[in-house]
Each structure stands twice: as structure tokens, then as C-alpha cells.
Amino acid sequence: MIKIAIVDDQVLLVKGISMIVSTTSDMEVIWTANNGEEALFFADQNVPDVVLMDIRMPIMDGVEATKQIKLRFPNTKVIILTTFMEDDEIYLSMKFGASGYLLKDASPEQILEAIRNAMTGGTIMAPHVASKLVKQLDRSQTPNFSFLEALTVRESEIAILISDGLSNREIADQLFVSEGTVKNHLTSILEKLSLRDRTQLAIYILKNK
């Protein structure tokens, strides 16, 4: 069973997600909390596999709670719950180890898929949001892409352009190669880095840069 914790000060949302989880046979809600401080207390008693974490809460917000939970329980996956795509908060949460975000109006299917995806090490984030987050990195510092050493020079170049939000066509035009060549390189990049898609690649670069 996947042990789920829900941290949100909106009672109806917590009840709604709990009901969705209760329809499954492979997961259960082990506790709920109204704020980050309460979540840390409950996590110390019963460590969850996945935490669905609101961002804006009283006493301790979701960003700080994510940081503290990942420090104490690095194997616990945190999915940020959000009404809007608050780029700054999502960015900080990702830096502290969150697996991505989930909009509060997501369908039951999307919620369950996100939980299972997080459990397998996947990221939960739309590609265009990933691009925005990557661009928030401090460009005044000299980038260090040594973590891409498993790639060829061309593959590294394409990986970085993908993390900047460029499409295959835009990359092909910039590098004066065919779109098919870019697709072939992308396949090789994902294989070498054990990633599933270009969104995971963007997040990988965000976390390691």
C-alpha cells in the first residue's frame, strides 16, 4: 500500500482527495494536517510514502514543510498542491526536493496518476512550467553542466536548449540540423540519463545545475 498524507487547510479539499484515494486498492491516507508544523509532527509518528502539500498555509507554509520533510525523510515524495502556478513557490519546492506540482482542480484520475508517478521517481509538471523554472536560475553565475558528462558535446548542447524551453524545430533551426536529428539525439539523451521525457530532462537540469 502507498501511504498518503494530505497537508492542506481547506477541509473540503482534504475530504475530496481522501475519498478519491479510498476508491483504490493500492493506497491509503494515513493522516491529514492543516499546516506544515502539524505535518512534521505527524510524519515523525508515521512516515508517509507520498505527501500532497499545499503551498500557502498558516504557521508553516508548504515550501518550508517540504524542505523539512525531505531533510528528515529523503525517500518520502512530496507533490505540491496549488490553485495557481506560483512559479516562485514551485521553484523553491523543487529545489528542496518536491517531485512536482498538482493543480487542485485536477481530476481524480490525474491525482491518482500523479501519486503513482511520484512513487516511481517521476516528475509531475507541465513542460512550459519546467521551462519557466529553469529560466529562474541565476544566469549571472557560470553554469556548471559537468553532470552531463555522460553525453556527447552535441547531446549536451541539445539538452541545455531543451531545458531552456526550445522545441525540436527551434533547436534544429538554431543548430542548423534537421528536426529528425534533434529527435534522435533526444532519444539518446533520455536513454543515457535514464529519463522518460523532455520534461524530466528539464527538471533534471534544474536540480543538478
Per-residue pLDDT at 134:
58
**Residues 64-82: what's their mean pLDDT?**
91
Nearest to 54 by CA among 113, 109, 5, 125: 5
Nearest to 206 by CA among 172, 149, 165: 165
Q: Where are the alpha helices (DSSP H) in 49-126?
A: 62-72, 87-95, 108-119
Per-residue pLDDT at 140:
43
Q: At 81, phi and psi to the nearest 5?
A: -95, 130
Residue 200 is which amino acid? Answer: Q
The span from the CA of 36 to the CA of 81, in Å, is 13
Residue 35: all three cell numbers together: 499546516
* Between residues 199 and 11, the one the model is more confident about: 11
Tell the burial category of 187 from Cβ atoms under 10 Å away from its Cβ (0-12, 13-18, 19+): exposed
Residue 91: all three cell numbers together: 521553484
**For the segment 120-133, what is each residue's pLDDT rounded down to a tens digit?**
877 776 655 566 66
Query: Of 71-80, 83-92, 158-167, 200-209, where does mean pLDDT reach its minimum?
Result: 83-92
Q: At 106, phi and psi to the nearest 5?
A: -65, 150
Give the model's confidence band at 4: pLDDT under 50 very low, under 70 low, under 90 confident, else very high.
Answer: very high
Per-residue pLDDT at 145:
61
* Between residues 83 and 37, the one the model is more confident about: 37
Q: Which domains does the chain carry?
A: 2-124 (3.40.50.2300), 134-208 (1.10.10.10)
Q: What is the mean pLDDT of the chain?
A: 84
Give the model's confidence band at 85: pLDDT under 50 very low, under 70 low, under 90 confident, else very high.
Answer: low
- 77-82 vs 2-7, strand pairing mode: unpaired
Give the model's confidence band at 138: pLDDT under 50 very low, under 70 low, under 90 confident, else very high.
Answer: very low
**For the segment 98-113, what is each residue's pLDDT rounded down to a tens digit?**
888 888 888 898 899 8
Per-residue pLDDT at 7:
96
Per-residue pLDDT at 209:
64
Per-residue pLDDT at 132:
60
